[in-house]
């Protein structure tokens, strides 16, 4: 049975609601409080916290999810006052990642991020962790891991770091082999749920996991595809980005995200039917900049054009496609070939190229 969750934030909670549902929660109430500065003790004011406590009792809520990152002391104070489990946005995202990681590499990276996140939250929480049991926010390394002392956790973190370093070296060897084979690499990036997996399937002709839930694909996929009679490329699908992506996750998944930094061309997949797509473009661009990819050759792929208003409208900064129906895919393949053959393309450079022709 899904856990009954109450959502709390300082602004709109649409994305947090999607994240909660993706994690398996059943949202029973939402609270928004506008504050200039967070309360040191409860993040929200004590009056609002008391309102939430009444709602917890009324609804029989199993957990309260905050849309911002809470300090360890704020989490402990809230749990004592609300008498239920409290997690923040970072904890929720980490929980979803623990469900989505199926490969050994993905599991290592998620566990590392979870342990780093929880390390500072162990003090004074032993009693609560025992009382609150499992569920959202406690998956991954396991409850018993959370109850061990800091020294053992740090030892585990160090070992995970060494294993992930081996993963990174292994990927470097694979990339070196690709360069020797002279196979260009193309990486799909985008906000989560923009349709990257559907586009990956459409380009490669191979079925992958496609879902309308956030972070449906976590483990990276790489496929060799033929674009035309003379061009073969390796296309990789990566984890979707999101607002306020936890720092621990960016750090832990750096080995995987190096696939993006080493690629010859980036396809930035955008859900053109999403009314907030402009803001989400900015989020993805900021993450790419943090990864050192701001200068890479890039094509913006405006996906879901069949669902967008003004579907026949052309764009001068990218190409409109529908990965689901196949509209625009042939033209996109032509664009990819043209970009990879362009003199002075990204092969080893850090110069961004802006497409300035309309999609046909």
Per residue in 239-283, pLDDT (tens digit) is: 788 888 777 777 766 666 777 888 899 999 999 999 999 999 999
How far, in Å, CA of 197 to CA of 184, rounded? 20
Q: Report all structural domains of the chain as residue ranges with CATH numbers, in order of start.
A: 3-146 (3.40.50.11060), 183-341 (3.40.50.300)
Reduce the DSSP state of residue 293 to 3 states and report it: coil
> From the CA atom positions of the chain, what is the Rg in Å?
22
Tokens standing for residue 159: 């070992």
pLDDT in tens, 224-251: 888 887 788 988 887 788 888 777 777 7
Can you say whether the dihedral through the CA atoms of 20, 25, 30, 32 is positive or negative? negative
Nearest alpha carbon to residue 85 among 117, 58, 62: 62
Segment 198-209 mean pLDDT? 77
* Rounded distance between C-alpha atoms, residue 323 and residue 203, angstroms: 9
- Indicate if the pLDDT at residue 35 is higher than 90: no
H-helix or E-strand spanning residue 104: helix 104-119
Half-sphere exposure for 275 (CA within 13 Å, toward CB): 1
280-319 pLDDT, tens digit each: 999 999 888 888 887 889 999 999 998 876 544 556 689 9
CA distance 182 to 147: 50
Cβ–Cβ under 8 Å, residues 255 and 105? yes
**3-state per-residue secondary structure call for 45-92:** CHHHHHHHHHHHHHHCCCEEEECCCCCHHHHHHHHHHHCCEEEEHHHH
């Amino acid at each position: 049975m899904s856990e009954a969750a109450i959502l709390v934030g300082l602004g709109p909670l649409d994305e947090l609601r999607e994240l909660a549902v993706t994690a398996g929660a059943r949202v029973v109430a939402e609270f928004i409080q506008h504050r200039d500065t967070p309360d040191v003790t409860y993040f929200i004011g004590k009056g609002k916290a008391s309102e939430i406590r009444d709602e917890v009792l009324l609804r029989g809520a199993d957990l309260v999810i905050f849309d911002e990152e809470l300090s360890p002391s704020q989490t402990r104070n809230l749990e004592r006052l609300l008498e239920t489990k409290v997690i923040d946005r970072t904890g929720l995202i980490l929980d979803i990642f623990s469900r989505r990681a199926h490969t050994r590499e993905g599991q290592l990276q998620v566990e590392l991020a979870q342990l780093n996140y929880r390390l500072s939250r162990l003090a004074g929480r032993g009693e609560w962790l025992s009382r609150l049991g499992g569920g959202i926010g406690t998956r991954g390394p396991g409850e018993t891991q959370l109850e061990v002392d800091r020294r053992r956790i740090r030892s585990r973190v160090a070992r995970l770091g060494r294993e992930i370093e081996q993963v990174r070296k292994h990927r470097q060897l694979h990339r070196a082999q690709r360069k020797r084979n002279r196979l260009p690499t193309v990486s799909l990036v985008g906000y989560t749920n923009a349709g990257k997996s559907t586009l990956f399937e459409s380009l490669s002709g191979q079925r992958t996991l496609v879902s309308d839930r956030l972070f449906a694909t976590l483990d990276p996929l790489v496929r060799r595809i033929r674009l035309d009679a003379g061009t073969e490329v390796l296309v990789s699908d990566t984890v979707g980005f999101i607002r306020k992506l936890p720092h621990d996750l960016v750090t832990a998944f750096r080995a995987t995200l190096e696939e993006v930094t080493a690629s010859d061309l980036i396809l930035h997949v955008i859900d053109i039917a999403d009314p907030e797509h402009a803001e989400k473009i900015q989020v993805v661009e900021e993450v790419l900049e943090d990864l050192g990819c701001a200068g890479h050759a890039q094509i913006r792929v405006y996906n879901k054009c069949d669902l967008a208003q003004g579907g026949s409208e052309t764009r001068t900064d990218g190409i409109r496609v529908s990965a689901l129906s196949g509209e625009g895919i042939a033209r996109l393949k032509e664009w990819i070939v043209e970009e990879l053959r362009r003199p002075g393309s990204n092969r080893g450079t850090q110069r961004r190229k802006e497409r300035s022709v309309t999609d046909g």
